[in-house]
Amino acid sequence: MERVIIVRYGELGLKGKNRPVFEDALKRGLQQAVRLSGTPARVVKTFGRFFVEPRDEQPLEMEALLPMVQRVFGLVSISPAIRVPATLEQLRTAAATALAEHLAAHRDLPEPIPFRVETHRADKLFPLSSQETNMELGGFLLDREPRLKVNLSAPRLTVHVEIREGKGYLYTEVLPGPGGLPYGSSGRGLLLLSGGIDSPVAGWMMMKRGVRLEAIHFESPPFTSERAREKVIDLCKVLAAWGEPIKLHIISTTEIQKQIRMQAPEDLSITLLRRFMLRISEGVARKAGAGALITGDSLGQVASQTMESIETINAVTAFPVLRPAIALDKAEIIDLAHRVGTYELSILPFEDCCTLFAPRNPRTRPRPEQAAAAEERLPVAELVAQALAADRVLLVGPDQVREWRTDAAPGIRGIYN
Amino acid sequence: MELHYLDNGATTRPRPEVVAAMTRALTEGWGNPSSLHRLGVAAEKQVKEARAAVARLIGAPPAQLFFTSGGTEASNLAIKGAARANRRRGQHIITTRVEHSCVLSACQALEDEGFSVTYLPVNAAGEVTADQVAAALRDDTVLVSVMHVNNEVGAVQPVAEIGRLLRDHPALFHIDAVQSAGKLPIDVQKLGVDLLAISAHKLHGPKGVGALYVRQGVKLESLQHGGGQEHGVRPGTENVPGIVGFGAAAEIARQELATAPARMYALKQRILDGLTAAGIRYQINGPAPQSAAPHILNLSFEGIPRGEVLVHALEEHGVYVSTGSACHSRQIKVSHVLAAMGIGDARGLGAIRVSLSAMTTEAEVDSLVAALRQIVPEMQALGFRTR
């Protein structure tokens, strides 16, 4: 008898050619989760599902493993299960164990406990049919546990039995996964990461749809502090723990902010700064092989997030800009931030002296032509090139950070081994 | 990148002699001073020598000096310990509005216990007068606490005068001397002070250790209880490495007292002269430089809306100063000291504090001036409104 985790996935409409890519990415995600759990385990792929199994005969440490596995993008559900050879005797023992453990862990069940056994028999060599197995095991369990009462239509406890390839799997729980697509299976995206609540959430939402994340952060020393940068690095660490280590580009916009302040109308300063940020981000994205930019824009919260502002800022690029939070309420974003684990970090109040550059009355409905006219007095291309030339890149893992050399060989895997 | 450290009010670099002494205490003399055997005796001897050195710095008998975990604990012990021990006699305390937060917080905690506290206002330079203390004294006043040197602006309070005044009053007199020890001469007998707090890491010693002088006969209620070390005033196994470091630092500080203050005043003036020569206009927050403590200079410049921006800009040049005081840096309002002096947001939020030490060189202050020469006009050109 051994413990395993059944891992279920399946995006409706996964076509034939995409399937191997999907499955490979999912396997990597599961292996990453195993690594992050700090416990030994093996990831095995079989028909239509994965198993997390013991490695070198070391039993799985479920408490450390389950929470990490449950976070892997692309999973629909997981079940910690007992696996035995498919004989009735073994199935009975396993069922009894599974039942006892479930009852010990769930003390709030009503008594008598409505329960049923649900069997899927895919192995034609097994002597009993699914229905017969239900009745056999059901009866067996009823004898052992007087609190149970059969209820086929509305059970509170279901003992699942799967019989395939000579093995029987017994489990009582189906734990939901995050859904989505496996990390990295949808390509690469560059997240514009500020220290606020929204942008980390937007990054996570795209990670969930399979986007491999890179990030870019803009700072303006001496108006911003190293503490602000440390906060962004910490946010990256949290995101990296949902996927893989993230490359973080750090760009200085001090010169740009100064020039905007000296040469352009004050009420357009935020709009113009964000246009620069978008141009610079596109440059970084193209070089990194990313196919899209990602921002935490949510419609209507601040002056730069009205529809007109978005149009005027977006006008500087034709590169796809994904805004997954565009239709979320602040409360929904905050809920997600709690789930992702970035909320507490985001609200830390390190004074950002960037606010010194903020206009008293920012233009809320700027036109692209107005912005372009204001930019005529600025050496746009030069400022963008200067900013790109000083790009500093860090590789941020869940608990480690290091400088990333751009001439390092591609495909260097993680920082764990 | 070079290090021009001019934030000595926040903390100071430990001297090599201090590090050497502490290393010896960690590698060789690591016994427990309370042990009966020779390892304990050796450790106890080190503590005794350090105590003598620290006591010499303030003119105290070693038997009246007790080691603590720092200046904050020393002042807490003094204020709460004295107030609580004397509450039957009265429950009134007098202090000033510009004390360090450890003194103010301790007083506020006592207010919650039923004490009433008078917080004396200060003049535009941050100073109180002995007359103010006299006017506030009541029959039920049990404690007066006035700092010797204010950490933010360097104002020197008339503690000797206050000491004389209190000679004829039963109230106890506490002085927070954390910023004055090693910069101004201190003689506890002459000052007539009952309780005096000092801290090692402000005079090139280590962090985590301080001391409280308690005049003979003064009773304190202890803050912590334990095995009887430090005559029960502050029990707990002694922080021998820290104490040894404190002793080494105090010894050197005492020797430097003859020459260091004059040097620091000259360096302060050098800064101001350098700024004037460069055409940089400034305002001094606090008393005139020669009337203030030798090591502290608090400055505001036109067109600098946030001190923190200057701190980071100077950092890029390898020069380190602070804004407000180290404890206040995270808040976006003027510090309580500047506010008590009547300095508003426009001037106060952009203030920086330069604090020198006995180890500061001319080259270091010249670097400060050179950096400011570049930074201030650049920042002023950006036209920020100081609100």
Q: What pLDDT, on the 0 to 100 scale, is given for residue A46?
A: 86
Measured CA to CA in angstroms, residue A330 lies from A208, A299, A300, A334, A335 at distances of: 20, 10, 10, 6, 9
Distance from C-alpha of B187 to C-alpha of B159, rounded to nearest angstrom: 11
Torsional class of B169: left (φ above 0), alpha (ψ -120 to 50), beta (otherwise): beta
Q: Is B312 an interface residue toward A (CB < 8 Å)?
A: yes
pLDDT tens-digit map of B154-174: 999 999 999 999 999 999 999
Q: What pLDDT, on the 0 to 100 scale, is given for residue B385?
A: 75
Distance from C-alpha of B242 to C-alpha of B119, rounded to nearest angstrom: 34
Residue B362: count other Cβ atoms within 10 Å of its Cβ.
11
Distance from C-alpha of A172 to C-alpha of A170, rounded to nearest angstrom: 7
Q: What pLDDT, on the 0 to 100 scale, is given for residue A356?
A: 81
Q: What pLDDT, on the 0 to 100 scale, is given for residue A18?
A: 77
Q: What pLDDT, on the 0 to 100 scale, is given for residue B387?
A: 53
Q: What pLDDT, on the 0 to 100 scale, is given for residue B110?
A: 97
Query: How many CB pairs lie under 8 A apart between chains A and B?
Result: 32
| Inter-chain CB proximity A353 and B315 less than 8 Å | no
Among chain A residues, CA nearest to B303 = A356
| Inter-chain CB proximity A223 and B309 less than 8 Å | yes
pLDDT tens-digit map of B88-121: 999 999 999 999 999 999 999 999 999 999 999 9
How would you class A84 by CB atoms within 10 Å of its CB: exposed for 0-12, middle for 13-18, buried for 19 or more?
A: buried
Distance from C-alpha of B192 to C-alpha of B185, rounded to nearest angstrom: 14
**Main-chain dihedrals φ then ψ at residue A166, nearest 5 degrees:** 75, 5
| Residues of A contacting chain B (CB within 8 angstroms) | 221-225, 258, 261-262, 349-351, 353, 356
| Inter-chain CB proximity A261 and B306 less than 8 Å | no
Q: What pLDDT, on the 0 to 100 scale, is given for residue A350?
A: 64
**Main-chain dihedrals φ then ψ at residue B123, nearest 5 degrees:** -85, -175
Enumerate the residues of chain B whose CB falls inside 8 A of the CB of residue A223.
309, 312
Mean pLDDT per segment of 10 residues, for chain A of length 417 residues? 92 70 91 94 90 92 94 94 94 94 91 93 88 93 92 93 93 94 94 94 97 96 89 96 96 95 93 96 96 94 81 96 96 96 87 74 89 95 95 93 70 39
Enumerate the residues of chain B whose CB falls inside 8 A of the CB of residue A222.
309-313, 315-316
* Separation in Å, CA of A357 to nearest CA in chain B: 8
Q: Is B311 an interface residue toward A (CB < 8 Å)?
A: yes
| Inter-chain CB proximity B383 and A261 less than 8 Å | yes
Check residue A174 and report its DSSP letter.
Answer: -
Nearest neighbour of B306 by CB, restricted to A349, A350, A356: A356
Enumerate the residues of chain A whose CB falls inside 8 A of the CB of residue B330.
349-351
| Inter-chain CB proximity A353 and B309 less than 8 Å | yes
Catalytic sites of B, residue numbers: 327
Q: What pLDDT, on the 0 to 100 scale, is given for residue B68?
A: 97
Mean pLDDT across chain B: 95
Both tokens of B260, joined, read 């260091």
Asked if residue B30 has pLDDT above 60, the reply is yes
Among chain A residues, CA nearest to B386 = A356
Enumerate the residues of chain A whose CB falls inside 8 A of the CB of residue B311.
222
Asked if residue B326 has pLDDT above 90, the reply is no
Measured CA to CA in angstroms, residue B29 lies from B15, B22, B52, B236, B240 at distances of: 20, 9, 18, 18, 9
With residues binned 3-state (H G I as helix, E B as strand, rest as coil), the percentages for chain A, rounded to 5, are 40, 20, 35
* Separation in Å, CA of B355 to nearest CA in chain A: 21
Residue A380: count other Cβ atoms within 10 Å of its Cβ.
18
Q: What pLDDT, on the 0 to 100 scale, is given for residue B319?
A: 97
Say what the ipTM of the complex is: 0.80
3-state secondary structure of B356: coil
Cα dihedral sign, B8-B14-B18-B24: positive
Q: What pLDDT, on the 0 to 100 scale, is given for residue B331?
A: 55
Cβ neighbors of A159 (< 8 A, separation 6 or more) are: A95, A98, A99, A115, A116, A117, A118, A137, A141, A170, A171, A172
Q: What pLDDT, on the 0 to 100 scale, is given for residue B325?
A: 52
Total residues belonging to chain A: 417
Q: Is B315 an interface residue toward A (CB < 8 Å)?
A: yes
Query: Which range has the worst mean pLDDT, A146-160, A342-356, B55-69, B244-258?
Result: A342-356
Distance from C-alpha of A162 to C-alpha of A164, rounded to nearest angstrom: 6
- Locate all alpha helices (DSSP H) within A62-212, ordered by sequence: 62-69, 88-105, 130-144, 198-208
| Inter-chain CB proximity B312 and A221 less than 8 Å | yes
Write the single-letter amino acid at B355: S
Q: H or E segment at B379?
A: helix B362-381
| Inter-chain CB proximity A222 and B382 less than 8 Å | no
Nearest neighbour of B332 by CB, restricted to A222, A223, A351: A351
Cα dihedral sign, B105-B106-B108-B112: positive
Distance from C-alpha of A344 to C-alpha of A54, rounded to nearest angstrom: 36
Measured CA to CA in angstroms, residue A38 lies from A41, A43, A223, B4, B274 at distances of: 9, 14, 40, 44, 59
Asked if residue B175 has pLDDT above 50, the reply is yes
Q: What pLDDT, on the 0 to 100 scale, is given for residue A122?
A: 86
Q: Is B363 an interface residue toward A (CB < 8 Å)?
A: no
Asked if residue B327 has pLDDT above 60, the reply is no
Both tokens of B5, joined, read 């450290």
The closest of B206, B189, B176, B187 to B50, measured between CA atoms, is B206
How many percent of chain B have pLDDT more than 90?
Answer: 92
Torsional class of B114: left (φ above 0), alpha (ψ -120 to 50), beta (otherwise): left
How many percent of chain B have pLDDT more than 70?
Answer: 97
Distance from C-alpha of A44 to C-alpha of A30, rounded to nearest angstrom: 10
Enumerate the residues of chain A whose CB falls inside 8 A of the CB of residue B387.
none
Enumerate the residues of chain B whose CB falls inside 8 A of the CB of residue A350.
330
Enumerate the residues of chain A whose CB falls inside 8 A of the CB of residue B310.
222
Q: At CA A327, angle to CA A240 and CA A203, rounded to 5?
A: 10
Q: pTM, whole model, 2 decimals?
A: 0.86
Nearest neighbour of A356 by CB, restricted to B310, B312, B384: B384
Distance from C-alpha of A262 to C-alpha of A246, rounded to nearest angstrom: 36
pLDDT tens-digit map of B269-323: 999 999 999 999 999 999 999 999 999 999 999 989 889 899 999 999 999 999 9
